[in-house]
């Protein structure tokens, strides 16, 4: 109870915000598909959101630094509400793509405010539990929000109004909180090239994760609708993937603490190939097998990113981990921008099966790369690995291995001597351990 009390207002804000925006992601894809948009346009719709998220992540810290957390959160939420209501004015695809770009920028601002605030509330002993509560609020709301899809909406605007109401209500717990917002420090990000050299598989895996997760969020609702299922069943389908990701992320991650993380990634990539191909065979069997299959699919794709982050952190010093997390979020974002568009090309050629043929193809390429990496570098010794923590690309700054870094080569504020696994400095100078911009 003492742990929850200081952050309850932030968790409520996260729940309301993600309940609305989780539904919005599905809603815009389903509505534009029903209006006759091609798969390529639907892919561009999701790509625009992640592009906005990436652009917003580079600017949000500047906004927060200029006007403060509460004003930045309020401004981002207000513009997001306006953009959401803009969808109710018509179904012009180009207008909706522009609105999704704006919505991505706004979401970046909201996540930077929330995550940096939560990060200030955490200590080395409580960060894991705070992160778990944050993940439950985030995933739980995203899954529950899918059921806004079943609200009767004969005129086409009621669902957008409900989403807007939830986002607006998320302003209240932040605006009325008595807890002082944190002070933001200057960022000193680790460059992508250096991050890749520290762990080629770790960074490439974050891109792979974005390629698959971005495609699923944008085109998964379209896939299930094209199979002839109603809105309630579509909501259950998408929600099952999200819940699967929340539940299975932890056991897969803990397994990577015991084994070579690369071996776990090889297993996940191989399983993704098999499950993706299996998903193309399940539609004739019925809806329940599809729900079970997509829950397993979600568990796999949502576990790849945090394990790749943990694998990369095994090769970094404490001072490098926080700025490096921004680079890994950027890697995910690059994949999430390209993924929906690439998957839409296969859906245009193979109809709904193209989505899972795409994920199988991406996973096969990732599997080949992971197997090759296992032949060129020995595994990290178990006693040199940081404990796994579940996370999403938007929760990376809350990683408990990063936030208490005091510089040098220590882990979690403690000192340890440099060794072959802990690079002293990726850039040739001492990086500053500060939170990177949040991602999406």
Per-residue pLDDT tens over the stretch 215-237: 999 999 999 999 999 989 999 99
How much is the average pLDDT of 155-171?
90
User: For the ranges 64-73, 135-144, 302-311, 356-365, which has the lowest average pLDDT?
Assistant: 64-73
Give the integer Cα–Cα distance in Å for 187 and 348.
42
pLDDT in tens, 186-200: 555 567 777 788 889
Q: pTM score > 0.75 for this model?
A: yes
Give the pLDDT confidence score for residue 393 in this predicted structure. Answer: 67
- Domain ranges in the chain are 9-176+190-398
Q: What is the mean pLDDT of the chain?
A: 81
Give the pLDDT confidence score for residue 287 in this predicted structure. Answer: 94
Residue 325's Cβ-count burial label (10 Å; 0-12, 13-18, 19+) is buried
Tell me the residue length of the chain: 440
How much is the average pLDDT of 80-97?
92
pLDDT in tens, 236-267: 999 999 999 888 888 898 888 888 889 999 99
Which one is predicted more confidently, 389 or 135? 135
**Among the four given CATH numbers 1.10.1060.10, 1.20.1250.20, 3.30.70.20, 3.20.20.70, the one describing domain 9-176+190-398:** 1.20.1250.20
Helix ranges (DSSP H) in 68-199: 69-86, 93-121, 127-145, 158-169, 171-175, 192-198
Which one is predicted more confidently, 382 or 104? 104
**Does residue 436 have a pLDDT over 80?**
no
**Does residue 1 have a pLDDT over 60?**
no
Give the integer Cα–Cα distance in Å for 380 and 391.
21
How much is the average pLDDT of 377-395?
73
How much is the average pLDDT of 137-153?
87
| Highest mean pLDDT (candidates 64-73, 242-251, 361-370) | 361-370
Instruction: Check residue 387 and give left, alpha or beta (phi > 0: left; psi -120 to 50: alpha).
Output: beta
**Does residue 414 have a pLDDT over 70?**
no
Pull the structure tokens for residue 365.
């390429």
SS3 state at 190:
coil
Which one is predicted more confidently, 116 or 144? 144
% of the chain exceeding 90 in pLDDT: 39
Give the pLDDT confidence score for residue 268 in this predicted structure. Answer: 96
DSSP string for residues in 26-48: HHHHHHHHHTT--HHHHHHHHHH
**Does residue 333 have a pLDDT over 50?**
yes
pLDDT in tens, 22-45: 899 999 999 998 888 888 899 899
């Amino acid at each position: 109870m003492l742990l929850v009390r200081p952050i309850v207002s932030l968790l409520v804000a996260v729940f309301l915000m993600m309940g609305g925006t989780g539904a919005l992601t599905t809603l815009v894809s389903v509505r534009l598909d029903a209006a006759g948009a091609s798969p390529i346009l639907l892919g561009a719709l999701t790509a625009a959101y992640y592009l906005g998220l990436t652009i917003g992540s580079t600017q949000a810290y500047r906004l927060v630094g200029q006007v403060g957390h509460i004003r930045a959160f309020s401004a981002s939420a207000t513009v997001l509400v306006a953009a959401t209501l803009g969808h109710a004015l018509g179904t012009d695809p180009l207008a909706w793509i522009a609105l999704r770009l704006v919505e991505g920028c706004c979401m970046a601002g909201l996540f930077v405010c929330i995550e940096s605030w939560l990060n200030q509330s955490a200590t080395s002993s409580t960060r894991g539990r705070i992160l778990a509560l944050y993940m439950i609020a985030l995933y739980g709301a995203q899954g529950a929000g899918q059921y806004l899809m079943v609200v009767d909406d004969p005129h086409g605007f009621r669902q957008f109004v409900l989403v807007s109401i939830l986002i607006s209500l998320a302003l209240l717990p932040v605006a009325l909180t008595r807890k002082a917002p944190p002070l933001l420090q200057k960022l000193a990000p680790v460059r992508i090239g250096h991050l890749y050299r520290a762990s080629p598989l770790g960074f490439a895996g974050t891109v792979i994760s974005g390629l698959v997760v971005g495609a699923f969020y944008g085109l998964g609702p379209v896939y299930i609708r094209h199979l002839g299922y109603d809105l309630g069943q579509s909501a259950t389908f998408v929600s099952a993937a999200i819940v699967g990701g929340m539940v299975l992320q932890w056991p897969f991650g803990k397994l990577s603490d015991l084994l070579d993380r690369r071996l776990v990634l090889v297993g996940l990539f191989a399983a993704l190939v098999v499950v993706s191909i299996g998903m193309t065979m399940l539609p004739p069997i019925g809806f329940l097998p599809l729900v079970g299959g997509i829950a397993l699919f979600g568990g796999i794709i949502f576990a790849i990113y945090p394990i790749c982050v943990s694998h990369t952190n095994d090769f970094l010093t404490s001072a490098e981990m926080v700025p490096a997390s921004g680079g890994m979020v950027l890697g995910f974002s690059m994949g999430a921008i390209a993924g929906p568009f690439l998957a839409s090309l296969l859906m245009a050629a193979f109809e709904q099966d193209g989505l899972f043929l795409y994920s199988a193809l991406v996973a096969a390429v990732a599997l080949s790369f992971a197997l090759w990496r296992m032949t060129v570098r020995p595994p990290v010794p178990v006693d040199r690995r940081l404990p796994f923590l579940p996370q999403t690309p938007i929760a990376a700054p809350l990683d408990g291995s990063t936030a208490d870094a005091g510089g040098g080569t220590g882990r979690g504020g403690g000192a340890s001597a440099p060794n072959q696994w802990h690079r002293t400095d990726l850039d040739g100078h001492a990086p500053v351990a500060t939170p990177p911009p949040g991602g999406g």
